[in-house]
Amino acid sequence: MRVALPPPALRRWFRHATALAIFVLMVYLSARILRALSGCRPGAQSCTPEGPLPLQVQHKSGLLGAAGWEEPQCLGPQGMLGRMTRSFRDSLKPKGDVELSQYLAGWRELVRFLTPLGSAVAFAASEAFMKVTALEARVQGPDAAHYTSLATMAPWERRAGLLEPPGTAPGAPAQASGSRTLLLLHRALRWSQLCLHRVATGTLGGPDAGAQCGDAYRTALAPHHPWLIRQAARLAFLALPSRDRLLELACPAAGEADARAALARAAGILEQVYNRTQDLLARHGLLQLA
Ligand SMILES: *[C@@H]1O[C@H](CO)[C@@H](O)[C@H](O)[C@H]1NC(C)=O
């Protein structure tokens, strides 16, 4: 059957479609141009610097956890990086599991860190914040006993039918589960970890933070995002502050070498949490939930 659109509606539709196509093309082209300017060829596997680390970072990284390195204040009890790493580290108890309340407390600090990094990252951070709040509501809700850790949550949500694909479980709200929320946070944690690690260890004169965090995005999140979001994200990362500014935000009033070492330590803890969570999600068959 043919549906005849009235001419004014058709014209409006055309105008909107054309405007959208031009916008998408511009976003796409400027992303490619800026990427090329920033030294990361599109299609290249990675624009992680291959050169050696600055000597000071190598030196300090070797000392991480060892006696002799005086921690900068940002890793202390008052520092944001310190609060974040402690919460995430505490989420690794009990052995082999991830405790949800500490994991979410760590995420709250991570969101606080990401929010000043420009409007587009702030948007992503606010998305993450909503997920943190949603999962916290379960952790503190009437079913709190089942939401102490990932290993208690997953089997319970499976028994409760919350992990069925949408449409197969009548009455269950489509895809709303703590496990799915956690999976989305987990992928974003991977991006944060790669981004912080690369900012901490990037060579002087190598790609700047924006290129490195954009590259981390391509690894960790882009495979799960639609095309338009990917293009918008690329632009957002090019507007990221410089490495120096990021180091200053992460570790105010510390020297560059100390700030890099502190950030590298934080990224190391995030990696431990990521690895543990990845392992658990795989074991419970939850990696395909979203
Ligand atoms: C995380 O897992 C990867 C891959 O299995 C491994 O190479 C890396 O050393 C692990 N990192 C930590 C901090 O455990």
pLDDT per residue over 110-121, tens digit each? Answer: 999 988 888 778
* Angle at the Cα of 89 from the Cα atoms of 178 and 47, rounded to 5 degrees: 85
What would the pLDDT profile of 226-272 be if each residue is shown by its tens digit?
Answer: 998 888 888 888 889 999 999 999 999 899 999 999 999 999 999 99
Nearest Cα residue to atom 4 of ligand 1: 275
Mean pLDDT, the chain, as a whole number? 81
Report the atom number in ligand 1 closest to the C-alpha of 274: 1
Q: Please write the tens of the pLDDT for every residue from 59-118.
A: 455 445 556 778 899 999 999 999 999 999 999 988 899 999 999 999 999 999 988 888
The residue contributing the CA closest to ligand 1 atom 14 is 272
Q: Per-domain residue ranges for the chain?
A: 71-283
Predicted local distance difference test score (pLDDT) of residue 2: 54
User: Ligand 1 centroid to 193 CA: how many Å?
Assistant: 12
CATH of range 71-283; options 3.40.50.300, 1.10.3520.10, 3.20.20.20, 2.60.40.420: 1.10.3520.10
Residue type, 254: A
DSSP 8-class letter at 73: G
pLDDT at residue number 112: 93
- Pick the atom of ligand 1 nearest to 272's CA: 13
Cβ(279) – ligand 1 distance below 6 Å: no
Q: Which atom of ligand 1 is nearest to the CA of 271?
A: 13
Two tokens at 53? Answer: 């680390």
Interval 21-63: pLDDT, tens: 444 444 444 444 444 434 344 433 344 333 444 444 554 554 4
Beta-carbon neighbour count of residue 59 at 10 Å?
13
Minimal-distance CA residue to ligand 1 atom 2? 275
Determine the pLDDT at residue 46.
40
Q: Is the pTM of this model over 0.95?
A: no
Centroid of ligand 1 to alpha carbon of 274 (angstroms): 9
Ligand 1 probe mutation, 85, 193, 219, 275, most atoms within 8 A of CB: 275
DSSP-assigned states of every residue in 94-153: STTS-BHHHHHHHHHHHHHHHTTS-HHHHHHHHHHHHHHHHHHHHHTSTTGGG-SBHHHH
